[in-house]
Structure 1
Amino acid sequence: MKDKSSYPELNHFFGAYLNQDYDLAGETIEEIVECYKQGTPPDAHKRMLFEMEHFKSEYPDLDEAFEETYGNDFSPELWGYTTASFFDELKRLLSE
């Protein structure tokens, strides 16, 4: 497993909002991200954006690294995304 300690905000997001009880936060990625945004301060959103960019720059094979790091918690493929497209969607939603 990749070291998660460099990504505390991503860890929080996947652990608290996209876990097995994700439906408590919403039924869609848009609803879940909105719930996250309402429950966290704006600087947390900025940290998550930074962490996604750091993750992308640290691991050339993004899908493999994501699977190794968060695969037990969340799979972008099950929601119709690649890891890159999921990060792009999160970036878009967090920036709105």
Structure 2
Amino acid sequence: MHELFGAYFNQDFDLWGNTIPEIISCYKRDSPRDYHYEMIKEINLFMDEHPVDLDSAFEKNYNNGFYPKLWGHTTASFLNELKWLLSQ
């Protein structure tokens, strides 16, 4: 997840797109399909490890200038959208 958030979902996210689907599309284009499934597993593991402190854990671990709330998401809904987009 560090690669995804460090490179694609940071303060310069607009280099990759203006929407979450556009950004994920760039990530998918730049990485092998196996990585997409590994990312889904990593997101699931992260969510499972932080059932009651997901927001604070996400901010602590992956805050690179990208805030899901500014995109109309909770942390959980944002991560669920990422998983869905990565699975397509």
Normalised by the size of structure 1, how large is the TM-score? 0.84
Q: How many residues align?
A: 87
Aligned to 1:6: none
Aligned to 1:46: 37
2:50, 2:60 → 1: CA distance?
Answer: 11
2:71, 2:4 → 1: CA distance?
Answer: 16
Normalised by the size of structure 2, how large is the TM-score? 0.91
**Structure 1: which 5+ runs fail to align?**
1-9
What is the deviation of 1:24? 1.1
RMSD: 1.1
Give the alignment of 1:1-96 within 5 angstroms: 10-60=1-51, 61-96=53-88
1:41, 1:72 → 2: CA distance?
Answer: 24
Report sequence identity in percent: 56
Runs of 4+ in 1 over 4 A off after TM superposition: none
**Structure 2: which 5+ runs fail to align?**
none
